[in-house]
Structure 1
Amino acid sequence: MKLSSCAAALMATALLASLAGASKTPAAQAAGTAALPNVNMEATVKAAQIDPRRADDTLTPGAKASVLLVEKALRDKKLLDAKWVDGYFGTTTIAAYAKYQKSLGYTGLDASGLPGKTSLAKLGSGRFKVAHVIGPGERVSSRGVTINTRTRDMLAAAEKLLNRDLALDQGSYNPGGDPTSAGTHDGGGVVDVSVKGMNAATRTSVARALRQVGFAAWVRNPNQGDWPWHIHAAAISDTDLSSAAQHQTGDYYLGLNGLANHGPDDGPKVTIRTWEEYQRR
């Protein structure tokens, strides 16, 4: 059967397109479909809390590849000198990332140098994809204070472990509300748990449960500062943490007490996990 001239033309066009595709080298085809590398946000945020508190240049396990991608992007934006592209998210990288956040118009908690999911995605545009995304969630009223949904869920998980409810003396997002807290409650993820009616053993068990679900938590007593007995808890890797709270979570990983005296950790020993790691255990 004869083909119409129109049909023949269409077939010829399709044949030419097929031949053109086949003529590409394997390298050229791969370049057109190459996937962008991943930045593991969980690992990056963890490094951004721990590395600035280290006394040496030890890298945070599992974070180097992701931190390098972030640092290279900051370097290419003229925000970080090439000599600091080393996989170590120290104070210089924190400062560079804060400059980047400010360049996006962010202020306050959103420009603390701790990577947030939106700024990290923008930094990675055309360079890398963001995997293992984390975020604090919305601010909510819970237990008479303001916290975020990530913190609320973490507290609920600790209560389940303890089989008891927890009352809060202080919540999050409370800038200047308590001068004795040294700014730790200015951002998200930080609460003070009431220990009213608890004996020493119970206080320790509560601190342990909080640590198990992803808080850096310590029993605080009046001999340590101008405050009553309470349990101070900072949610590790909450991207709304104030700078002071970021320092506390970093110190916790390094075996310190989170206080200005940089004393040894005096809390119950547990395997340190973030909330996300606790959920995957």
Structure 2
Amino acid sequence: MTPIRSGLAIAALALLATAPATNTAPATTSAANARATDSPATASQATGVDMQAVLVAAQIDPRRADQSSTPGAAPSVTAVERALQAEGLLPAGFVDGHFGTRTVAAYAAYQRSLGFSGIGASGLPGAQSLRSLGTGRFDVTHVVRPGERTEHGGKQVNTRTKAMLTEAERILGRELVLDQGSYNPGGDPTSAGTHDGGGAVDISVTGMDTAARTDVVRVLREVGFAAWDRTPGQGDWPHHIHAVAISDPDLSSPAQEQTGDYYLGKNGLANHAPDDGPKVEPIRTWEEYQRTN
């Protein structure tokens, strides 16, 4: 339910609400951004692109105050940028391993060229578009898929999010009741587009005290959500827990921004204040959680 930026989020909402297509079957969000530097790429072309690494970079890098690369992602990001350059969508000066907003915009343009729209052309790589871009250029490894749309607690989610929520419930030993699910464009004006795509849910805190809410947020973070305990004092919404599944390829642009802010130690709100939730380190995606448990 919680918005991050008023201007950009509202603009993204207006674009996303027009076409509910996903990033895994043909699919606009433009990303207006300029880079202060324009240095040529130095990394060599990779033969394999790690989709998990690219997804993390595509969420974090546009939110950085500088043009640094996400650790471990630069070779894969550079390979994607070289391919976008070859498609005539990205100037050579931006082929640098930093998946900034110029790269996001170029990738979104490529998605649109394939017929994607809405959340499927947000600039966040999906498996189908990434493999298409890699044809004759690179192989795609560690593929991430949101899965089919389904329900959890009577609210619409995708199978990846459902699995994450189910695991959190197992650890907590309690059912999590959803106030809002995913793929809900325009369903709640206070959401500012965060629930337009997949991966975003709001969880009821009815019957939870402060300690219980903190515990829920902590466990959600452990299994791969960017999650926060939201209060009425922070915005025009009831008390709830807001959670976004990191690296869900169907994330709306505002939800992508929230996950990037979470990685950078922020609260995912318009004020960009420091994160106010329980510290969980290292931050992990669902796939990383599965590999370590």
Q: For residue 204 of structure 1, what is the amino acid of its counterpart?
A: T
The 5-angstrom pairing of residues 58-97 of structure 1 reads 58-97=68-107
Q: For residue 166 of structure 1, what is the amino acid of its counterpart?
A: L
2:133 matches 1:123: yes
The 5-angstrom pairing of residues 204-223 of structure 1 reads 204-223=214-233
The 5-angstrom pairing of residues 222-261 of structure 1 reads 222-261=232-271
Q: What's the counterpart of residue 104 of structure 1?
A: 114
- Corresponding residue SS for 1:159: helix
Question: Could you report, residue by residue, the CA deviation over 1:61-93 in whole angstroms, capped at 9, with x for unpaired residues?
Answer: 110000000000000110000000000000000
- Corresponding residue SS for 1:152: helix
2:275 matches 1:275: no
The 5-angstrom pairing of residues 37-186 of structure 1 reads 37-186=47-196
Cα distance in 2 for partners of 1:121, 1:40 equals: 11
Q: What's the counterpart of residue 209 of structure 2?
A: 199
Per-residue deviation at 1:249?
0.1
- Corresponding residue SS for 1:223: helix
- Corresponding residue SS for 1:197: coil
Cα distance in 1 for partners of 2:72, 2:59 equals: 14
- Give the TM-score normalised by structure 2: 0.83
Q: For residue 273 of structure 1, what is the amino acid of its counterpart?
A: R
Per-residue deviation at 1:58?
1.6
Cα distance in 1 for partners of 2:121, 2:228 equals: 27
Q: What's the counterpart of residue 24 of structure 2?
A: none
Looking at secondary structure, tell me which structure has more helix per residue.
1
Cα distance in 2 for partners of 1:101, 1:130 equals: 16
- Give the TM-score normalised by structure 1: 0.87
- Corresponding residue SS for 1:193: strand
Superposition RMSD in Å: 0.7
Q: Which has the higher contact order (CA 8 A, sep 6+)?
A: 2
Cα distance in 1 for partners of 2:240, 2:268 equals: 14
Per-residue deviation at 1:197?
0.4
Q: For residue 280 of structure 1, what is the amino acid of its counterpart?
A: R
Cα distance in 1 for partners of 2:65, 2:245 equals: 23
Q: For residue 122 of structure 2, what is the amino acid of its counterpart?
A: S
Per-residue deviation at 1:118?
0.2
Cα distance in 1 for partners of 2:145, 2:104 equals: 18
Across the two proteins, how many residue pairs are aligned to each other?
A: 246
Q: For residue 132 of structure 2, what is the amino acid of its counterpart?
A: K
Identity %: 68
Per-residue deviation at 1:220?
0.1
Question: Could you report, residue by residue, the CA deviation over 1:23-70 in whole angstroms, capped at 9, with x for unpaired residues?
Answer: xxxxxxxxxxxxx81100000010000000001112101100000000
Q: What's the counterpart of residue 13 of structure 2?
A: none
Verify the 8 A CA contact 2:230 2:239 in the aligned structure 1.
Answer: yes
Per-residue deviation at 1:161?
1.0
Per-residue deviation at 1:141?
1.9
Cα distance in 2 for partners of 1:169, 1:207 equals: 15
Cα distance in 1 for partners of 2:222, 2:236 equals: 28
Per-residue deviation at 1:222?
0.4
Per-residue deviation at 1:231?
0.2
